[in-house]
Homo-oligomer: A and B are copies of this chain.
Amino acid sequence: MDGQTTIEEQYDYLLAVLQADQLIEFRELFFNLHIYEQGQFYLSLNEEERQRVYTYLSPKEMADMFDVIEEDEEDVEEYLKEMKPSYVADMLAEMYTDNAVDTLNQLDKTTMAKYLSLMDTESASEIKELLHYEDETAGSIMTTEYVSIVANQTVRSAMYLLKNEATVAETIYYVFVVDRENILVGVISLRDLIVNDDDRMISDIMSERVMSVKVGDDQEDVAKMIRDYDFLAVPVTDYEGHLLGIVTVDDIIDVIDEEAASDYSGLAGVDVEESSENPFKAASKRLPWLITLLFLGMSTATLIGRYEELVSEASILAVFISLITGTAGNAGTQSLAVAVRRLAVQDDKDSGFFRLIISEVLTGLITGAVTGLAIFIVVGIWKQNFPLGFVIGIAMLFAITVANLAGSLIPMLMDKLGFDPAVASGPFITTLSDLTSVLIYFNIASLFMSYFI
């Protein structure tokens, strides 16, 4: 970010060097870049330029760079196809296991098997083990490149071991202590190793209260622990306590980002990660939602159709349809967002299901009463028709209360049933609340018909 030349100028110059086929200068400049920047440079190239890069860089050097290219980069499959299969296999073997697994998971089974068969047996078996874990679990985001030691040794010997592991381990800032059966028994930070005397025994200074997660735990729970406890990594064990791997804070940041984007997408009824600026691609991703909601909306239209006679008698009723459905939809969206967020952050999800629903219905009654009163006064004065204002106000009160109930009940039920509550999208709730609002509105209107006409 600092420095005399901007990063874009450096990329441009590096590209010129690449195009001029100057291997030595290219390598010197390239390795002056941070690996993240190396990745960004690589991603900016065309196929011909990338082909040259494959001849310039070793699989190990390529692996370092691929470790930071975002796993959800859509084109990874294409890049791998450009390389020789043996080059890909060597590169995957050199990557951190968790990242190699993420990359492989984007390929079809046959291609995956091909690369694994070309790999050295040890790397292949490490990767195969991680491939088994279900998506979005601790197992699926953990890495096996951690440092573990046994307790009955000194700080000096532990430090010696650490120096040797430092180049391959993903983090050396926590050292995990295991017994002979590889059961996790303690943890010691590099900070503690440094401040303690070289002759102290690890067993004396390690923390035995080591927090860990199970391999099948949800990645969101792992994220919550790292965030709350300010850890840089947490160990992952199987159900008998054997140490299997670690999850590091950089992976957790990606998880938090991913979950936030998915909650946001849910509320908007669109995949916000949609990166394409191609209108056809964008439209094809948005249309399924729009068309589904259109047909749900048709039921509201059908319902209004049943009251067409009422509307032709009192066309003034048509004036307030969108106001009532719109306001109830806004209130329902508020309830939904609060409920989804509450489900995401609270520890004990089973606490007070009914209390929360009742609280949300009461909130609906209060906001509904205030909003209803406001519209009663405004319509009464505007149209010089207080009975009409009364109908609109009462309809508003009930429509908002029902929308609040739906907005909180639906995500909470989905959570109880084991679905992601964030999938209960905003547009779904507003379209649903259109239906209930119209039903409430016309029923109340026909009850008081004689008073306001």
Cβ-closest chain B residue relative to A284: B366
Chain A 16-48 interface residues, beta-carbon cutoff 8 Å to B = 32, 34, 36
Q: Which candidate, A106-114, A122-130, A261-269, is the interface stretch facing chain B? A: A261-269
A32 CA / B261 CA spacing, docked (Å): 37
Given A225-B1, A326-B325, A301 and B283 contact (CB-CB distance below 8 Å): no
> In the bound complex, how far is the Cα of B355 from the Cα of A407, in angstroms?
36
Alpha-carbon gap, A286 to B360, bound state (A): 12
| Interface size class, chain A | 35 or more
Indicate if the CB atoms of B378 and A298 lie closer than 8 Å. Answer: yes
Q: Tell me the smallest distance from the CB of A334 to a CB of chain B, in Å.
A: 4
| Copies of this protein, total | 2
Which of these, B253, B291, B367, contacts A252 with CB under 8 Å? B253
Are B322 and A159 in contact, with the CB atoms below 8 A?
A: no
Interface-forming stretch among A51-59, A84-92, A149-157, A307-315? A307-315
Does any Cβ of B come within 8 Å of A162's Cβ? yes
Most-contacted residue by chain B among A68, A267, A289 (CB, 10 A): A267
Segment 337-377 of A: residues with Cβ below 8 Å from B: 337-338, 340-341, 355-356, 359-360, 362-363, 365-367, 370-371, 374-375
Measured in the bound complex, the distance between the Cα atoms of B338 and A293 in whole Å is 18
How many angstroms between the C-alpha atoms of A309 and B294 in the bound complex?
Answer: 27
Choose the segment among A413-421, A423-431, A444-452 that binds chain B (4+ C-beta atoms closer than 8 Å): A423-431
- Asked if B323 and A286 sit within 8 Å, CB to CB, the answer is no
Digit string of A237-257 for contact with B (CB within 8 Å is 1, else 0)? 000010000000110111011
Whether a CB of chain B sits under 8 angstroms from the CB of A316 is yes
The interface bits of chain A over 269-281 (1 if a CB of B lies within 8 angstroms of the residue's CB, else 0) are 1101110011110
Asked if B334 and A286 make an inter-chain contact with CB atoms under 8 angstroms apart, the answer reads yes
Chain B residues positioned under 8 Å from A249 (CB to CB)? 232, 249, 253
Q: Pick 30 A–B contacts, CB within 8 A, sort by A.
A: A163-B195, A190-B190, A226-B253, A227-B257, A260-B264, A265-B337, A268-B338, A268-B426, A269-B333, A272-B340, A277-B355, A279-B359, A279-B365, A279-B366, A287-B367, A287-B370, A290-B331, A294-B371, A294-B375, A300-B323, A300-B326, A305-B319, A308-B316, A308-B319, A311-B315, A317-B318, A322-B322, A326-B329, A326-B431, A430-B430
Q: What would 12 more interface pairs be, CB under 8 Å, given A308-B318, A315-B315, A322-B434?
A: A34-B211, A68-B230, A167-B195, A260-B263, A265-B337, A268-B338, A270-B337, A286-B367, A293-B326, A304-B322, A308-B319, A318-B321
Please report A residues at the B interface, Cβ cutoff 8 Å. Answer: 1-3, 32, 34, 36, 68, 159, 162-163, 166-167, 172-173, 190-191, 194-195, 209-213, 225-230, 232, 241, 249-250, 252-254, 256-257, 260-261, 263-265, 267-270, 272-274, 277-280, 282-283, 286-287, 289-291, 293-294, 297-298, 300-301, 304-305, 308-309, 311-312, 315-323, 325-327, 329-331, 333-334, 336-338, 340-341, 355-356, 359-360, 362-363, 365-367, 370-371, 374-375, 378, 400, 426-427, 430-431, 434, 438
